Structure 1
Amino acid sequence: MATENQSLWQVQMSVGLTFETYSSLVNRLPNQSKHLNLLIFLAIYAVGLSVYSFMFDTFEGGRDNYAHFFISKYSWKYPRLLLDHWGKPAFTLVSSPFAQIGIRSVVIMNVILSAFTGYILFKTAIKTYTISSAFAGCLLLLFSPYFFVISASAMTEMMASTVIALVLYFVANKRFTAASIVFSSLVLIRTETFVFYPLIIAFFIYHKKYTDIPYLFLFPTLYTIAGFFYYNDPLWLISKSPYRGSVDVYGTGSILHFVKNLPVLIGWPFLLILTASILWFIVNRIQKKKLKEEPLLLLANGLWMLHLAAHSYAYWRGGHASMGLLRVFVPVIPAMAMVATAGIHHMLRKPRCLKSQLRGKIALMVLSMAQIAQPWIHLPIPYRYDEADKAMLAALDWYQQHNSSERKLYYYDLLIPYYLNLNPFDTTVCVEKFDFKEPSFNGENMVLYDTRFGAIEGMSNPKDFLYHPNLQLIQYFAPKITEKTFNGSDYEIFLFKTLNEKNSVDNIRTLDSLKTHKYKNKIPLFSNPFFAYGQDEFFEIFNADISEMISGKTFNILHINAKLRNLSRTDGLGFCISVEQGGEIKEFMSFPMDEWIDKRYRDQLLSGFNGFILKIFIWNQQKKTVEIEFDKLEVSLAEKIY
């Protein structure tokens, strides 16, 4: 046992001394050499992430990426967009040159900003801490899961994080005027950062920098003046705020939602180091030990904790424009990284003995390396189009093939003008977020309605369009397997043609016909009425080896079409599908029976085997008396197209 402990000690000594030797050598290098090494690393990071971003079909933030891109791109053609509140005026101004090339250029701009933010954090930390601590803090920041994916997007959060990093840098260097001017741009990049004003003003008062406080309002004042001449409203930054949604739109959730998701937001290694750093800071305060950088750490902690409290409250109460999206925390991750860097430095600076010092440095190495893997552990990157996106792309391909460019297109989903290369601000070509109750339909135009954005942006549902007197349904698309939207409805896409006269075609019958044609190479398995009564645990619907039936045929889904007549109770009843092969269950699916009350069909994706036994049954888990009656129950395998 002693020999094993001695061997372990030798390994720890070897690794620790290697890390210590490298850190010591680097710390002895001139400042220019230190920065050159970091710049080389950040250049590799930026180039690598820029190339990697081209593997993304879509980006963190979803359709908001296209919205920001459109506003930035067309701000040169429509200058009013430079004052668009939703687009964030400061972000629009800076990103507009990149947007002229394309959305990928805006993404690369954010990659550059993320690398620059890492450099600023390093510059701030190296003023007080060791090179190894500063570099570790830089790694924690750059490879925080959400910081990483927002870097590869066209969203505003990355620019806001750069601003906060710069504010901390200028404060650390006692350049309060520069800090206040840079801070003043923040609210024009992320609106919710107005909550930082009491904290930053109190910080300036504490340091007796009274003359620098007015600079905190510099950019909002300049934009207020500029916007006054367009909006004729001196308070347009408040009155034109787009964030006035209800609970129905934004939703609500637990007040601990963001706290519980901190591991996903910043990664486990970062969270462990941050927690240890805060605990160390608290103990240090209790022992009344003064740190020269204490005001900076108080500001950094105050920024991210205030941000956490504000968003947690807003999401908990609902109706305050918070949907519980984790990406809103990206702006304050540099502040969190600053606190973590301080903790790393001070916890390793005065170890009790060489043994604990070595273990501490080994732990730091392991955690830093583990942090690099966090984006891939917590997030499904690179982001790919989901089934709903693929259905929309299929609809757009069909639209391009069958429709004249002279027709105006009404839509809700911003992927549509992006994919079709349309100018969303040219209402002679396309119209977004139109009012379906009073549409300005002139001539034969097109309406592309989807249940994801139509429900939120248009406050409508498919029936509003299917029963509209001047709309004729011409095509229908849906994912191969059912996907739910924000409000719980099935995702579907409807293409309508506008008519000057009243529609003489029954859209509902057309819809049924279009849905039927989405299933190719149908293999019928079961088609009968179904009745069951009793207390049995299982009621069998279908059980057979269908190997011969499917031999040489192509399918991807199990299609169930049903018409429920009677269901005496709903509790504890499951509609189950089991796929077995060689006595082994390959797939098992179950969903509540009460789904059939309002639903007529269900598609279940199957992996597909050369031969298997398919079982379909109703599971009466509570073994209570139940009566179930279907007027029609059809089961078939098919190849479904979008």
Structure 2
Amino acid sequence: MKERREKSLLYIFFLVLAVLQLTLIFLNEKTFGGADSISHFHIARYAFKYPHLFLDLWGKPVYTTLLSVFAIGGFKTAQFFNVVVAIFSLFFVYKIVRQYYAKAGLPVTIMAAFAPIYFSLTTSCLTEVLFGFVLVVSVYFFLRNKYILSAVILSFIPYVRSEGIVFLPVFAVAYILSRSYRSVFFLALGTVFYSLIGFFAFGDILWLINRFPYPTGDSVYGSGSLFHFVKKSNVIFGIPFIAALVLGLFAELSELFKKFSLTSPKTIRFILIAGSWLTYFAAHSYVWWQGRGGSLGLIRVIGGVIPLAAITAAIGISFIYEKIGNKRLASGLVILIVASQVVLFFNQNDIPVKAPATDKLIEESAGFVKDLQLKEKVYYFNPMLVFHLEIDPYDKSKSNWGIGDKMRPSNSMNYDDILIWDAHFGPNEGRTSLASLQNDPSLQLLKTFLPVQKIKVLGGYDYGVYIFQKVKNKTSSASSESLVRTLGIADSNAPQIVMHNKQKALELTAASEYSPNVIVALDELSEKEIIDVKLSVQFESETVLVEKEVLLIISVENGRDNLRYEKQSLIWNEGDSDWKTTELETRFSAAIPASSIIKMYIWNKERKKLWVKSLVAEVEAL
């Protein structure tokens, strides 16, 4: 009776979860994963039209095949595919946990559903959710002693996500310890299957190696701390989930060491479940630390093992029931943990999801191109552009990702073709610099989209979207309006103005944290699209100045709102002896309130003694 009531609660929870996620599919302004989600959707959406896409290794053959049916209905139905898979994954988590740790089944299922990364992945078109499903189903059949079926299913996991290969040796050890030696050979079935399919499609039996889409050497994305994912674990799992997970590992290891046997069922389960997700976690930590394999350090990749980690967390929940004699107290504590997982998720995440400024600029730029009503080809770098343009990304007569000639891009284009460069994908994945486009004598800049607030993206670039068109005769840039403002040092008799090296200069001392401001009001400029600001200072210092001691500041303000803030350190080395010049430049969208001002000054943060010969601001509206 109790079990039946619990299952009813489980099904009610799944129904509520499905309705919630479906609602968010329509309310979210962006999908989790951004351009990667769009790319996976496009591959699946057009796979029936271009069958080779079913074997696209970046898109992942298994994921593409299953998603393609949903993708026919459009992006939102494709998103719902992950909702369906996630619920089935959680159902298998429940069944596994119910078999060994009965009381923890429902609590840990709810906690897994509201693990921050997993919840976000559920409405995406990313591979991690299906990846977790294949993994947990393989474990489920293993624990039911259906070893060969388990091996067959797991053999296809590298074709859901490439790094799934790390599970094969872990499962192989578990099969051997369980004396199911034949199952080890079935772990190769998925690779044999796709090798043969690729041989007939491409005439290359080694196509899985020869067409591998990721770099095996150093990554363009850089590297980071070995403990990157550990530090981010609170936004991956959620703090209550982590508490249950750590407690579960402690309880399981304590039990194993009491009476250790390598072939005992408990040891094999530990190797299979905890061993798998820990190996995966460690592998991703290592490749990001070493900057290998195209790793970007994205925390979403850990979402693929959350269903499996939930089983270990269930041991922690079960441990609470075992060690607390008072059943009501134990149940109350577990309910508190589960409730905390859900409440913290909603408190720490913006639901529904708002689109970031970068996505909005991409959408605006796509709208601009659509309004041109041109029939020429579009070259792009960000996959979201063709999504918003609603064109077939695989029809080479209509669009093309990237550009062939990196030195002179127009050589790869026909006249009147459009090229849309963005600061994230353009210089990184596209390996095309903005300078090469600006200096190309056949590329005319049509429009620039910049955020008001500065956004740094991969590679340290300031984000912006630039739209070019190939033309026969490139014209000069659009008319601009310039203002030059200076701090009136030479003509001032203020107390701070002193003679230094026979020249008038503004003296900053320990008593003066800030210099006077140079201010330009936005309403002094005619209505334009882009504002360029260049601030220049000539100075001398009494002592050495290092980073962040004295700063040159450009601040764009509207009342109490700071819309943009730029800074540049003034550096004075021991050998410097004459007036030194430091410059600070910024460019931003003019789409800000007319009441805004551009305020420029020196911040003497560490109260050093220095002299300023000139402070000049050039503001240009384009």
Query: Scaled by the length of structure 1, what TM-score is found?
Result: 0.83
Asked if residue 542 in structure 1 is aligned to residue 517 in structure 2, the reply is: yes
Q: Name the residue aligned to 1:601.
A: 586
Asked if residue 564 in structure 1 is aligned to residue 541 in structure 2, the reply is: no
CA deviation vs aligned residue, 1:92-132 (integer Å, no higher than 9, x gap): 000001111111111101011111111111111112222x3
Counterparts of 2:89 and 2:134, CA distance in 1: 8
Give the C-alpha shift of residue 390 in structure 1.
Answer: 1.7
3-state DSSP of counterpart to 1:541: coil
Counterparts of 1:88 and 1:613, CA distance in 2: 51
Give the C-alpha shift of residue 287 in structure 1.
Answer: 2.4
| Larger helix percent | 1
Comparing 564-573 with 380-389, greater Cα deviation is found at 564-573
The amino acid that maps onto 1:308 is: F
Q: Structure 2 residue aligned with 1:592, among 562, 567, 570? A: 567
The amino acid that maps onto 1:426 is: D
Asked if residue 429 in structure 1 is aligned to residue 377 in structure 2, the reply is: no
CA deviation vs aligned residue, 1:566-596 (integer Å, no higher than 9, x gap): 3556631224559798xxx776986432499
Asked if residue 180 in structure 1 is aligned to residue 157 in structure 2, the reply is: no
The amino acid that maps onto 1:633 is: A
Q: Name the residue aligned to 1:158.
A: 129
Q: Name the residue aligned to 1:26.
A: 2
Q: Name the residue aligned to 2:99.
A: 127
Unaligned runs of 5+ in 2: 490-504, 571-580
Q: Name the residue aligned to 1:389.
A: 359
3-state DSSP of counterpart to 1:457: coil
Q: Name the residue aligned to 1:410.
A: 379
Q: Name the residue aligned to 1:273.
A: 244
Q: Measured at CA, do residues 261 and 530 of structure 1 come closer, stay the same or move farther in structure 2, by a change above 3 Å?
A: farther
Q: Measured at CA, do residues 628 and 543 of structure 1 come closer, stay the same or move farther in structure 2, by a change above 3 Å?
A: closer
The amino acid that maps onto 1:344 is: I
3-state DSSP of counterpart to 1:538: coil
Comparing 365-374 with 263-272, greater Cα deviation is found at 365-374
Counterparts of 2:449 and 2:566, CA distance in 1: 24
Q: Name the residue aligned to 2:501.
A: none
Give the C-alpha shift of residue 614 in structure 1.
Answer: 9.4
Where do 1:148-227 residues align within 5 Å?
148-227=119-198
Unaligned runs of 5+ in 1: 1-24, 518-523
Q: Name the residue aligned to 2:463.
A: 491
CA RMSD in angstroms comes to 3.4
Q: Name the residue aligned to 1:482.
A: 454
Give the C-alpha shift of residue 214 in structure 1.
Answer: 1.9
The amino acid that maps onto 1:429 is: K
Q: Measured at CA, do residues 255 and 51 of structure 1 come closer, stay the same or move farther in structure 2, by a change above 3 Å?
A: same
Comparing 139-148 with 627-636, greater Cα deviation is found at 627-636
Asked if residue 362 in structure 1 is aligned to residue 332 in structure 2, the reply is: yes
Counterparts of 1:219 and 1:451, CA distance in 2: 39
Asked if residue 50 in structure 1 is aligned to residue 27 in structure 2, the reply is: no
8 Å contact kept, 1:559–1:603: yes
Give the C-alpha shift of residue 475 in structure 1.
Answer: 1.9
Give the C-alpha shift of residue 240 in structure 1.
Answer: 1.3
Give the C-alpha shift of residue 616 in structure 1.
Answer: 5.1
The amino acid that maps onto 2:341 is: Q
Structure 1's consecutive aligned runs of 4 or more residues displaced over 6 angstroms after TM superposition are: 553-560, 578-581, 604-610, 612-615
Q: Structure 2 residue aligned with 1:306, among 275, 279, 296? A: 279
Counterparts of 1:587 and 1:429, CA distance in 2: 42
Q: Measured at CA, do residues 598 and 429 of structure 1 come closer, stay the same or move farther in structure 2, by a change above 3 Å?
A: farther
Counterparts of 1:283 and 1:169, CA distance in 2: 24
The amino acid that maps onto 1:600 is: E
Q: Name the residue aligned to 1:7.
A: none
Give the C-alpha shift of residue 617 in structure 1.
Answer: 3.3
Counterparts of 1:558 and 1:80, CA distance in 2: 44
8 Å contact kept, 2:550–2:604: yes
Counterparts of 1:402 and 1:260, CA distance in 2: 47
Counterparts of 2:435 and 2:598, CA distance in 1: 36
Asked if residue 338 in structure 1 is aligned to residue 307 in structure 2, the reply is: no
CA deviation vs aligned residue, 1:450-490 (integer Å, no higher than 9, x gap): 22211112212211001112212222221122222211121
Give the C-alpha shift of residue 618 in structure 1.
Answer: 1.5
3-state DSSP of counterpart to 1:422: coil
Counterparts of 1:312 and 1:233, CA distance in 2: 33
Where do 1:592-631 residues align within 5 Å?
592-594=567-569, 599-601=584-586, 603=588, 617-628=601-612
Q: Name the residue aligned to 1:59.
A: 31
Q: Structure 2 residue aligned with 1:454, among 402, 413, 426? A: 426
Counterparts of 1:570 and 1:248, CA distance in 2: 32
8 Å contact kept, 2:558–2:593: no
Q: Report how many residues are paired.
A: 583
Q: Name the residue aligned to 1:241.
A: 212
8 Å contact kept, 2:221–2:458: no
Q: Structure 1 residue aligned with 2:550, among 570, 573, 580? A: 573
Counterparts of 2:583 and 2:148, CA distance in 1: 63
Counterparts of 1:248 and 1:484, CA distance in 2: 19
Q: Measured at CA, do residues 99 and 587 of structure 1 come closer, stay the same or move farther in structure 2, by a change above 3 Å?
A: closer
Query: Scaled by the length of structure 2, what TM-score is found?
Result: 0.85
Counterparts of 2:379 and 2:599, CA distance in 1: 45
Asked if residue 469 in structure 1 is aligned to residue 469 in structure 2, the reply is: no
Comparing 40-49 with 184-193, greater Cα deviation is found at 40-49
3-state DSSP of counterpart to 1:475: strand
Give the C-alpha shift of residue 245 in structure 1.
Answer: 6.7
Give the C-alpha shift of residue 340 in structure 1.
Answer: 1.0
Q: Name the residue aligned to 1:89.
A: 61
The amino acid that maps onto 2:365 is: A
3-state DSSP of counterpart to 1:600: strand
CA deviation vs aligned residue, 1:27-53 (integer Å, no higher than 9, x gap): 4x4xxx643442232122112211122
8 Å contact kept, 1:410–1:430: yes
Q: Measured at CA, do residues 410 and 614 of structure 1 come closer, stay the same or move farther in structure 2, by a change above 3 Å?
A: closer
Counterparts of 2:97 and 2:189, CA distance in 1: 28
Give the C-alpha shift of residue 360 in structure 1.
Answer: 2.6
Q: Name the residue aligned to 2:113.
A: 142
Counterparts of 2:608 and 2:290, CA distance in 1: 41
Give the C-alpha shift of residue 301 in structure 1.
Answer: 0.6
CA deviation vs aligned residue, 1:209-268 (integer Å, no higher than 9, x gap): 011222212122111101112333222212211110764622100000011111110000
8 Å contact kept, 1:224–1:234: yes
Identity percentage of aligned residues? 25
Counterparts of 1:628 and 1:161, CA distance in 2: 62
Asked if residue 398 in structure 1 is aligned to residue 346 in structure 2, the reply is: no
Comparing 48-57 with 73-82, greater Cα deviation is found at 48-57
Give the C-alpha shift of residue 623 in structure 1.
Answer: 2.9
